Chains A and B, each alone.
Chain A
């Protein structure tokens, strides 16, 4: 437990140095994620061309020096399009996981701390959601509300919330059985204060690890939804809708399909590696998968 205490309140810099950056995977994940985040943040400055500029002379033009990723069926620069689409995909991934985290963590925390009927009342419905295939659930939700990037974000959040709630609940159960919680109770500390000052900091680690890894997979889910036409809608493009657009010209211009997919793969890996690095520090007992 002492490890997690350090992670929460102690010296954050030590957490970085000795934890995440100590493992090779963690270092790689951190480095790649930093680059990807910068790319998304500074997309308008980094993109070499206007992502929506239609250039008739460059229709399906293969990669060259000025256009390293080639051009698509409308002669638009694929690299610039990937950079801008990446921004959209990453926003959906980060947004959805954040929403799931902000809803799931308090629920899991409270269920684990109170136990008994409160636990049952919170966790039963959550387990019901987990009893359905995630992708089916997302598609069903979009069927109800209609397609769009906000709805895709919401759908992914709905899939993720139960997972994070479960992780927090199980780490909370471990923390609650510790003597320092007993001591805090004996001292007459208010419940709210025990939960926020003592349980939360010590139980949150595994959820942070899980959320990091889920963020990577959210890129995949967003891509799948947008590929089906259920996620991000035109004129905005995400990596998934780029993949859907490029299918008709797959054999003539494979570069239109290759690069968005690689961007997805690299992102998933980076989040995974970074999550592994975090795990060494924040989840030494391995509550997360």
Chain B
């Protein structure tokens, strides 16, 4: 096996213990609930027979290890148990809601990258007015909370100008234009802070590369500035930028929990929050598990891309 293939395989295997540990945490969630989780779920008017039935249904009367293995085995086959309230399989709920969260996250990240990277490159390449302007953006991006920005956007676009709907959702396949109209404000709210963060990272990485000797040499050699910046410098500044974009996916998935609730988007985040309020632990478990696995996979892919961009970091430690 080539060293590259070996490092990829090693990185894949590194993800396994993380996924297992995370699955144990999610599994234990229901057991860590203070008191009797089944009693809590069913409410205090539930009869002891009811509690016993649900307990057996959930397998909570089995030894802990057996329970975990059964649960994890089922989860591996896409079976996350059954929702208590609607009696639908949790996997069906997740399958309905995951696309919404993924669309929100992908659109936000795409927008943030399209704004953050070019502005960061320009700020590094042309210090002065451009850099000062980006500094204001970075500061605003740090200070302004995503969901408060969302509220303010609703106030402006839905309240005062009435050009976009304040909340709600239409599936993309049903009506693409309406779908994007509903997505516009949540995506803006999530992308703003991310764009600022990506901008800052890009600017920092580019400033470092543009200060190196080989850039000085390229300029002395008479290579055109555009080519120096975009072909040579950006390429070498890419690994930290890609790493940050990958890490920020997790932040976006977390932020999606709040933004989905604010804009009434039927995503996994909102499902988790409403299920917590209903003490619907089985659904919470499924939602947390899926989002966490999604995040671990994104981190994995990021590491592989960074390793490919910069072979010196074959072990995946980009920074």
Contacts and interface: CB of A to CB of B under 8 A. Distances in A.
Contact of A265 (B18, B144, B281): B144
Interface of A: 125, 128, 131-136, 139-140, 142-146, 220, 223-224, 227-230, 243, 247, 250-251, 254, 257-258, 260-261, 264-266, 268-269, 272
B95 interface: no
B180 interface: no
A250 B147 contact: no
Given A144-B32, A224-B145, A268-B143, A136 B18 contact: no
Given A250-B154, A254-B159, A266-B143, 17 more contacts: A131-B295, A131-B296, A132-B295, A133-B250, A133-B251, A133-B295, A134-B254, A136-B250, A139-B276, A140-B29, A140-B284, A143-B272, A223-B147, A229-B273, A243-B148, A264-B148, A268-B143
B52 to A, nearest CB: 23
A269 B143 contact: yes
B251 A224 contact: no
Interface in B155-187: 155, 159-160
Given A251-B159, A261-B152, A133 B254 contact: yes
11 contacts: A131-B22, A135-B251, A135-B253, A143-B276, A223-B147, A223-B148, A229-B277, A250-B159, A261-B151, A265-B143, A272-B143
B69 interface: no
Interface of B: 18, 21-22, 25-26, 29, 32-34, 139, 142-145, 147-148, 151-152, 154-155, 159-160, 250-251, 253-255, 257-258, 261-262, 272-273, 275-277, 281, 284, 288, 291-292, 295-296, 299
A228 B261 contact: yes
A143 B292 CA distance: 15
A139 B273 CA distance: 8
Given A135-B254, A145-B34, A251 B145 contact: no
Q: Main secondary structure on chain B at its contact with chain A?
A: helix
B151 A257 contact: yes
B139 A128 contact: no
Given A139-B273, A143-B281, A243 B254 contact: no
Contact of A134 (B21, B139, B251): B251
Contacts of A136: 250, 253-254, 257, 272, 288, 291-292, 295
Nearest to B273: A228
A227 B142 CA distance: 19
In the complex, which of the residues B144, B255, B296 has the most CB atoms of chain A within 10 Å of its own CB atom?
B144
A133 B151 contact: no
B281 A269 contact: no
A130 to B, nearest CB: 10
Centre residue among B26, B142, B272, B299 by max chain A CB count within 10 A: B142
B125 to A, nearest CB: 23
A278 B42 CA distance: 52
Interface centre among A139, A250, A260 (most CB of B within 10 A): A139
A135 B256 CA distance: 9
Q: Which 6 A-B pairs have the closest CB atoms?
A: A135-B254, A261-B148, A133-B250, A251-B159, A265-B143, A133-B254
